[in-house]
Amino acid sequence: MKSDKPSASTTKPLANDVTALNPSNHANRSGRLAQGAVFAGVAGEIALHQLSIPKPAESEVLVRVSGCTICGSDLHSFHGRRTVPVPTILGHEIVGEIVDIGGTSARIDLEGRELQCGDRVTWAIMANCGACDLCRRDLPQKCLHGFKYGHEPFRPGRELSGGLAEYCLLVPGTSIVRLPEELPLAVACPASCATATIAAALEAAGDLTGRTVCLIGAGMLGLTACAMSRVKGAAKVVSVDPVSARRNLAIEFGATRTSDPDDLPAVAMEEVGTLGFDVVVELSGNPAAFQLVWPLIRTGGILVLVGSVFPGPSIPIALEQVVRRHLTIRGIHNYAPRHLLEAVKFLSLAHTQYPFARLVSEWIPLTSIADAFRHGSHPDAIRVGVYSTDASHHVSAS
């Protein structure tokens, strides 16, 4: 049986020829090289390669990566539980410093501020065209011509498209936010994935003032949802997770009650009686969680599905119950630019109230990328961060 232990080799041949896709004489090459952790599609293997640093064209921005936290979806890709186009640079929870802006046109962030070299920024996981059918329907995260950071296969001049590298090239249509200097790196990195996704999920849940909320899963998404639900005025927040340590963390992040999944029916009866929860947000991706919470949603309640991001078994649903109970079921995958801006503003205010920085248990240099994936795969890890040697001062400052 093949071991899940990450390979530390930096000399293994790739399934696709990186050299052929990275010609040094390409028109937009700067002539300089940067390290990138290349995932070639072999489960449990990742390797450092020297890649050409691109010179940004019109409307492109080159960023030196300060840090990138390893998301659960990165782990799923790395371990072969989901497919991603390869070869690729994984990582999409990224903070970096602008080092070059292409062309002569000003680049503006989501708050209308002109961006400059030296600005510390984060950006949306999906760059969008703004003009296709889905963009016009307020689904820019599903843009028909989108470019998804940490998920793109190598293209000439655009190999550096993920956070597990020293540099990342931001393409036209990328929504960028300049970060407050006081926001620690460990807090800021997940903004462009977990925090913004929760902002989208809770928008779908509607006004939470005085509401009762049940959150299934207490990883990064669930803990963020605890804090944001409370900030949005939820009267009760019940966090459900089988791991006691995570349930304890949920209390620190604002949960008013926690529960093991097996105890949830009894806990729900104590907290909301026979009425049920106003809002349930499913963040674990476990199909059994849907069956667990289905009877616990009140008439007129809302179920928001977030965690089921890779294929699983089909779940039966009684359509008659949806009709008679006036239920709303919403699926949320990624987020729109406004949610990223909301995420940064939320973290700027909430990181002193809730211990977000502690959720990144350690920072590991890019040169030890195999160790980063091994540590990030440990069940106790919420997030592990990766930094390049040049960015080590950003990590110590966080």
pLDDT at 54: 96
Q: Decide: 70 and 372 in contact? Cβ < 8 Å.
A: yes
User: pLDDT tens, 369-389?
Assistant: 999 999 999 999 999 999 986
- Work out the end-to-end distance of the chain between its first and last CA atoms, rounded to an integer number of angstroms: 40
- Residues 18-184+351-397: name the CATH superfamily: Medium-chain alcohol dehydrogenases, catalytic domain (3.90.180.10)
pLDDT at 309: 86
Closest CA to 304 of 220, 232, 217: 217
Flag the least confident range among 7-16, 134-143, 240-249, 373-382.
Answer: 7-16
Tell whether the model's pLDDT for residue 287 goes beyond 80.
yes
In the chain, domain spans: 18-184+351-397, 199-331
Closest CA to 279 of 196, 204, 212, 327: 212
pLDDT at 161: 98
pLDDT at 329: 97
User: pLDDT tens, 319-330?
Assistant: 999 999 999 999
Give just the sign of the alpha carbon dihedral 330, 335, 339, 345: positive
At 173 the three-state DSSP class reads: coil
Q: How many CA atoms lie within 13 A of 24 on its CB side?
A: 5
pLDDT at 311: 80
Tell whether the model's pLDDT for residue 8 goes beyond 90.
no
The residues near 238 (Cβ < 8 Å, ≥ 6 apart) are 212, 213, 214, 215, 255, 256, 257, 258, 259, 264, 267, 268, 271, 277
At 13 the three-state DSSP class reads: coil
Task: Please tell me the chain's helix, strand, coil percentages from 3-state DSSP, rounded to the nearest 5.
Answer: 30, 25, 45
Cα–Cα distance list, 38 to 15, 16, 148, 196 (Å): 11, 11, 16, 26
Strands (E), 4-144: 29-39, 47-54, 61-69, 88-89, 93-101, 120-123, 126-127
Instruction: Give the Cα separation of 194 and 398 in Å (integer).
Output: 19
Does the domain at residues 199-331 carry the CATH identifier 3.40.50.300? no
pLDDT at 31: 81
Q: How confident is the model at residue 312 (pLDDT cuts 50, 70, 90)?
A: confident
Per-residue pLDDT averaged across 206-231, rounded? 98
User: pLDDT tens, 37-87?
Assistant: 999 999 999 999 999 999 999 999 999 999 999 999 999 999 998 899 999
